Amino acid sequence: MTTQRSTWILKVQCQEDQHFVPDEERRKHWAELFEQLDLNKDGRIDMLELQAGLAHKGLSNGCLQKIVETGDTNQDGVLDFEEFVEYLHNHEKQLQVMFHHVDRNKDGWIDVEEIQDCLHTIGVNVSPEDATRILLSMDKDGTMTINWSEWRDYFLFKHLNDMEDVARFWKRSMILDTGEQLTVPEEFSEAQKKSGYMWRQLMAGVMAGSVSRTGTAPLDRLKVFRQVHGSSEFRGSALSGFKYMLNEGGPWSLWRGNGVNVLKIAPETAIKFSTYEQIKSVMRGHDETRTLRVHERFVAGSLAGATAQTVIYPMEVLKTRLSLRKTGQFKGIADCAKQILQREGAAAFYKGYVPNMLSIVPYAGIDLAVYETLKLAWLNRNTGLSDPGVMVLLGCGAVSSTCGMLASYPLALIRTRMQAQASVKGSPKLSMLSLLRNIVTQEGIAGLYRGISPNLLKIVPAVSVSYVVYEYMRIMLGMDFEGRREGKGHG
């Protein structure tokens, strides 16, 4: 089968080589592109000029470096005009082969079904909704199909070798950790699971989350203080809150509770993704190749998130207690766990569990829905651009996380207060509904949003730091944006 496919591709490529001769207009367009990218007008394009000229396309440095390496025939580290034109000529030839591969009925147009069929043949199953989003990101004339010109312009500066690279580019996503619940897990093909790519991707996400949470830990601790003590002695501005913590425990006290907050990322991620795969398998039943619909993936993701939260929830309680502790109260994570077990019993490790579970659905659902809506709206308004780019996606991620957090925040506040009940002297041990009634009665509706300001303040830095670390981790792990390890071939 592989031999037949390779022979077919070679045959098509030979046919394309015979008639793929760019016309004068195309060569003129290449010359204009070179002129635009050659910022210092020295007749050569280097990496810095590519980064500046193509910044709006959101391409990774690895992708741009490959463009230079592939086109740089004289190995001087830059592209002169002839090398630039030759690269685009060869690349467009390759893109035309890929276009004909996707255009199964050879009518010169690619539709939603052909996108699904193409990705299915290489082990990537996408729903009609996802395939439509892919199509809309490339369809400039509103025909709900992709012609050769749209295909070529979209992938002109994407360094792609085969259809697997196209699939990986389409499904490329960012794991952004804002310190709250992660949303529906990412989809991986069977090939990516077997190659180990999936776990490298997850490792990059775990490291990004660790650095992001550590960087915003002081704001997170301030949030916990205001949630628990907001109506009593811990009032005032964020500055007065930081001053209180510094006076009580010194600079390092700002990071209390961060250790366990970072430690729980890895097990939570591993449990969530493993459970997600199992739930998807059950949902598919006997038809293992069936593509799950959007609502099915959301249900599977929510159940997987609930399972992961159930397993690691004692660490959530420890994080809250350690964040609220005074100097000398606990010797560390183990001592905190030991004291809770001795004084309150094992049930204390699941205080606030119900409101925590109830908050997963509104947070994940609204986060995912707003992110996809914003991204799709941008693509519809900017049909002339190939992809949103880094800043747009970061903006969508920040806004969607904020919306999800606003919707679920009252439940998160009640959860935190229930987790902290035994550590606050004289506080009555109230149920979820009693606590809700007390807060509304004594503090009003605004009381349900105590501590939200530091939480809002940490969204943008958390998303930004998470993205930067995530990209650097991908490079360190030998992964570029196509999801391919450096030097690794695919037969």
> What confidence tens digit (pLDDT) does each residue in 173-205 have?
434 455 555 455 556 656 666 667 677 777 887
306: in domain = yes
Q: What is the pLDDT of residue 174?
A: 38
* CB contact at 8 A, 389 and 58: yes
Structural domain span for residue 145: 24-176
Do residues 313 and 358 share a domain? yes
CATH code at position 314: 1.50.40.10
Q: Which residues contact 204 (CB under 8 A, 6 or more apart)?
A: 175, 470, 473, 474, 477, 479
Q: Are residues 145 and 243 in the same domain?
A: no
pLDDT at 488 over 80: no
* CA–CA distance, 150 with 108 (Å, rounded to integer): 11
Distance CA 238, CA 221 (A): 11
Same-domain status, 230 and 259? yes
- Asked whether the predicted pLDDT for residue 394 surpasses 60, the reply is yes
pLDDT higher than threshold 80 for residue 381:
no
Do 426 and 394 reside in the same domain of the chain?
yes
Distance CA 453, CA 456 (A): 5
Average pLDDT on 48-74 reads: 79
Residue 17: which pLDDT band, with cuts at 50, 70 and 90?
A: very low
Least confident residue range of 17-31, 178-192, 220-234, 287-301? 178-192
Banded pLDDT at 122 (limits 50, 70, 90): low
pLDDT in tens, 309-332: 899 999 999 999 999 888 888 888
- Write out the DSSP string of 182-232: --SPPP--HHHHHHTHHHHHHHHHHHHHHHHHHHTHHHHHHHHHHHHHTTT
Q: How confident is the model at residue 292 (pLDDT cuts 50, 70, 90)?
A: low
* 117 and 194, same domain (yes or no): no
**Least confident stretch, 61-70, 124-133, 153-162, 253-262:** 124-133
User: Is residue 17 domain-resident?
Assistant: no
Looking at every residue in the chain, the average pLDDT score rounds to 77
Q: Give the residue from 129, 149, 176 where a domain finishes.
A: 176
* Residue 442: predicted pLDDT: 87
φ, ψ for residue 182 (rounded to 5)?
A: -80, 155
Domain count, the chain: 2
Structure tokens at 393: 């996606």
289 φ, ψ to 5°? -90, -5
Q: Is residue 11 part of a domain?
A: no
Q: Are 172 and 275 in a shared domain?
A: no
- List beta partners, residue 80: 44
- The reported pLDDT for the residue numbered 482 is 39
Please report the pLDDT score of residue 481 as a whole number. 41
**Within a domain: residue 13?**
no
Whole-number pLDDT of residue 91: 87
Give strand ranges (E) for 15-129: 44-45, 79-80
Q: Is residue 208 in a domain?
A: yes
Answer whether residue 370 is part of any domain: yes
Per-residue H/E/C for 131-183: HHHHHHHHCCCCCCCECHHHHHHHHCCCCCCCHHHHHHHHHCCCCCCCCCCCC
Task: Say which residues have a Cβ less than 8 Å from residue 28's Cβ, sequence separation at least 6.
Answer: none
Which of 112, 144, 176 is the endpoint of a domain? 176
pLDDT band at 281; cut points 50, 70, 90: confident
Q: What is the pTM of this model?
A: 0.63
- Indicate the pLDDT class of residue 475, thresholds 50, 70 and 90: confident
- Both 369 and 471 in one domain: the answer is yes
Q: Could you tell me the end-to-end alpha-carbon distance of the chain, in angstroms, rounded to an integer?
A: 12
Shared domain for 195 and 161, answered yes or no, is no
Does residue 298 share a domain with residue 442? yes
Pick the residue with more confidence: 141 or 234? 141
User: pLDDT above 70 covers what percent of the chain?
Assistant: 75
Residue showing tokens 């996503």: 173
The pLDDT of residue 355: 92
User: What is the Cα–Cα distance from 197 to 333, expressed in whole angstroms?
Assistant: 33
Based on the fold, state whether residues 104 and 195 are members of the same structural domain.
no
Looking at per-residue pLDDT, the higher value among 259 and 13 belongs to: 259
pLDDT tens digits, residue range 71-109?
888 888 889 999 988 888 888 888 888 888 888 888 889
Any domain includes 10: no
pLDDT value of position 135: 80
122 and 202 together in one domain:
no
- Using CA atoms, how far residue 121 sits from 11, 289, 395, 396, in Å, is 19, 11, 34, 31
Residue predicted with more confidence, 143 or 290: 143
Residue 6 in domain: no
| Domain end among 176, 198, 227 | 176
Query: Same domain, yes or no, for 117 and 224?
Result: no
CB-based contacts of 152, cutoff 8 Å, min separation 6: 92, 95, 96, 99
- Whether residue 269 is predicted with pLDDT greater than 90 in this model: the reply is no
